Every structure is written in structure tokens, then in C-alpha cells.
Amino acid sequence: MKKTSTERRPPPGRQPFSLKARINSFRYAFAGLRQFFAGQHNAIVHAVATVVLIIICVFVRPNATELLFLTLVTGLVWITELLNTAIEKLCDLVSPGFNPKVKFIKDVAAAAVLVSAIVAVITALIIFIPRLL
């Protein structure tokens, strides 16, 4: 069947929308999470911290705005750790030996995780300390 000029065609090099491809993209994402938790010690540290935060929230009962901020900064820590892991793996693939430029990239990526964790802790302290005093 010939397509009419009013039918939408994907741009050159792109495939049309496929529900199966979208479902597969979720499978790949969950596979990435499984690999992340299986191979990264920091994932366990962040998981424990997240569980501790949830337990504290159950007892302290932050309001909706506070809970939103806590959720955002916790998500920020998880996202930066996932990106840091991806950057480290890519650097190891591209440059298996020592390279000062790769060291710099890895150090900066790790610093991003540290900064996000510090922001998360400060946010939690701002919310929880007044309630505990």
C-alpha cells in the first residue's frame, strides 16, 4: 500500500514507534539496575541510607513539601551514583591502563556523588533537627 503525503513517516535513520521496543528499553534499564546493585558496593551504602531515611520519615512525619525535598535530594544521590558508575565503566573500557586524564574524569564524577550526598544530608538536617530539638 502506498503512503499518502499526509501520513507521518519517521525521519531518515529512525524506526517507527514500536511498543515492543519501548518495553525492551525498560528491560534494559532494569538490567542496568540489577548489574549496578550486584557490582557496586556504594549501591548498598546508598540503599541503607535510603532505608534509614524512610524509617526516620515514618516516625518524624515530614509534611508534603519536606517529603518532596527529601525525595528529590535522595533521587539526586541515586542518579549521580548511577552516572558515576557508567562514567567509570566507560573510562575503564576506553582506557584500561592508567591515564591522568581518565583519573581526572573519574575523580570529578565521584565528586559529583559527594556533592549530591552532602546536599542530601544538609537538606535532611534542615528538616529533621528542628523537630528533634
2-11, 41-50, 108-117: range with lowest mean pLDDT: 2-11
Residue 9 forms part of a structural domain:
no
Residue 24 forms part of a structural domain:
no
Residue 80 forms part of a structural domain:
yes
pLDDT for res 1: 54
Residue 104 forms part of a structural domain:
yes
State how far the Cα of 87 lies from the Cα of 104, in Å rounded to an integer.
12
Q: Predicted confidence band at 133 (pLDDT cuts at 50, 70, 90)? A: confident
Q: Which domain holds residue 128?
A: 44-132
State how far the Cα of 26 lies from the Cα of 119, in Å rounded to an integer.
29
Residue 48 forms part of a structural domain:
yes
Mean pLDDT of the chain: 92
Check whether 51 has a pLDDT greater than 70.
Answer: yes
* CATH number of the CATH domain containing 72: 1.10.287.3610
CA of residue 69 relative to chain centroid, distance? 16
Residue 30 forms part of a structural domain:
no
**Mean pLDDT calculated for residue range 2-25:** 75
Structural domains counted in the chain: 1
**Mean pLDDT calculated for residue range 7-29:** 82
Residue 27 forms part of a structural domain:
no
**Mean pLDDT calculated for residue range 102-124:** 98
Q: Predicted confidence band at 6 (pLDDT cuts at 50, 70, 90)? A: low
Q: Which of 94, 93, 90, 88 is nearest to 109 (CA)?
A: 88
